[in-house]
Chain A
Amino acid sequence: MHWLANPARFVRLADRILPFVLGATIVLFALGLYFALVASPADYQQGDSVRIMYIHVPSAYMASATYLVLAVAGFVTLVWRHPLAAVAGKAAAPLGLAFTGLALATGSLWGKPTWGTWWVWDARLTSVLVLFFLYLGYMALWGAFEDRDKASRAASILALVGVVNLPIIKFSVDWWNTLHQPASLLRAGGPTLDPSMLRPLLIMIAAFTVYFVTVWIWRIKAELAEIKLSNLSRRGGAG
């Protein structure tokens, strides 16, 4: 029973954080959009199509970061059987799926004018597509079992196995020949972007991050309430 105290403490903490992250999401997106679409220059080679970067890179970064959340949650679920971890992973998955889909779609819309093609089967694009299917599989496993513990264990194992895909995504642009450009942000020697483009990008990455935290909290709270409801109705039915 001791774990019931934990989700309650989580909800109290979450309720205190929520107004700040929600406010930050709105402010940072407004600022980010202004800098991304108005107050930043067109690229000397790519023209205005470079503005897709300000939503493509944050989507792709969140796609991987959210998967890391799933993997850590899966690890904690399997090792310590912590129920809040299972809930946290389950609640994050649809967000990760959305980010991955958006990274692929915006990448496609950027690739057409820049590379002349919507899609290539190269290492970067293919490994991100694999990530998309990992999210789908994870969510399908959660839905496939009546028993909550079984579902969370199966999904956690998939999340942990799939984590090998993350370094493949990150280093695919260095290991293989690809149309995709190499890292310009998280690289040895610092970012290669001009400050005028680095600013909107960093603001957007921050906006995507606080957005994730906001919606993640809502989803965890909904999940916890649902568990409590089903426990209550089961007890109510028995008594």
Chain B
Amino acid sequence: MTGFLDMGGYGLFVWPAYALVFAILFGVGLASWRRERQKARLLAEFERRRHGKGER
């Protein structure tokens, strides 16, 4: 296990590289997904209110 973490002496370069890539990709993905959800919710709310007004 220590051999794996040590990466033959290159652990200090390999692990930060992987951590950075996955932190950024995950962060960008999550932010984009949440923004999409939020906009979809707003749109649905807007249309519901508009239709509600029309029926009254």
Chain A interfacial positions (CB closer than 8 Å to B): 37-38, 42, 47-49, 51-52, 55-56, 59, 94-95, 98, 101-102, 105-106, 109-110, 112-113, 211, 214-215, 218-219, 221-222, 225-226, 228-229, 232-233, 236
Partner of A49, one of B4, B13, B50: B13
Q: A218-B36, A236-B50 are in contact. Are A94 and B28 (CB under 8 A)?
A: yes
Q: A48-B14, A113-B10, A225-B36 are in contact. Are A106 and B28 (CB under 8 A)?
A: no
> In the bound complex, how far is the Cα of B3 from the Cα of A38, in angstroms?
11
Chain A residue with Cβ nearest B41? A225
Residue pair B24, A98 in contact (C-beta under 8 Å): yes
Mostly helix, strand, loop or mixed at chain B's interface? helix
Give the bracket for the number of chain B residues in contact with chain A: 20 to 34
Could you list 25 examples of A-B contacts with CB < 8 Å? Answer: A37-B18, A47-B8, A47-B9, A49-B10, A49-B13, A98-B24, A102-B24, A106-B17, A109-B14, A112-B13, A215-B29, A218-B33, A218-B36, A221-B36, A221-B39, A221-B40, A222-B36, A225-B40, A225-B42, A225-B43, A226-B39, A229-B42, A229-B46, A232-B43, A232-B50
Which of A38, A55, A211 gathers most chain B CB within 10 Å?
A55
Q: A214-B29, A215-B29, A218-B33 are in contact. Are A105 and B17 (CB under 8 A)?
A: yes
**B35 interfacial contact with A, CB 8 Å:** yes
> In the bound complex, how far is the Cα of B40 from the Cα of A214, in angstroms?
17
Chain B interfacial positions (CB closer than 8 Å to A): 4, 7-11, 13-14, 16-18, 20-21, 24-25, 28-29, 32-33, 35-36, 38-40, 42-43, 46-47, 50
Mostly helix, strand, loop or mixed at chain A's interface? helix
Residue pair B20, A105 in contact (C-beta under 8 Å): yes
Contacts of A59 in B (CB 8 A): 21
Contacts of B18 in A (CB 8 A): 37, 55
